[in-house]
């Protein structure tokens, strides 16, 4: 699952209880250092209020493991090297 703000794959998804949105812990923690509000609802939010989404984290880890397992090696003709 991709973070709605950064569009990167989340490594530590957390639920923002003040809006119901899920963000990566690193992204929301950075935001909270300068503004202790939920970026979606503008309600007060602190780092200790974040709820880890362990089920989503497990699904992301399984997806990444499966993706790595099926990934081709660069020397099998699928390389992006064009020279």
**pLDDT at position 8:** 82
Please tell me the pTM assigned to this model.
0.74
Taking only the tens of pLDDT, the chain with its 83 residues reads 665 666 788 999 999 999 999 999 999 999 999 999 999 999 999 999 999 999 999 999 999 998 888 765 555 444 444 44
Got the DSSP string for the chain? -B-TTT-SBPSSEEE-TTT--EEEHHHHHHHHHH--B-TTT--B--GGG-EE-HHHHHHHHHHHHHHHHHPPPGGGS------
């Amino acid at each position: 699952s991709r973070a709605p703000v950064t569009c990167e794959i989340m490594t530590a998804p957390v639920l923002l209880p003040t809006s119901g949105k899920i963000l990566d812990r690193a992204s929301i923690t950075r935001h909270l250092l300068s503004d202790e509000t939920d970026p979606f609802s503008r309600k007060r939010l602190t780092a200790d209020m974040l709820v880890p989404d362990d089920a989503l984290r497990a699904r992301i880890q399984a997806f990444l493991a499966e993706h790595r397992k099926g990934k081709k090696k660069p020397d099998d003709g699928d390389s992006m090297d064009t020279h």
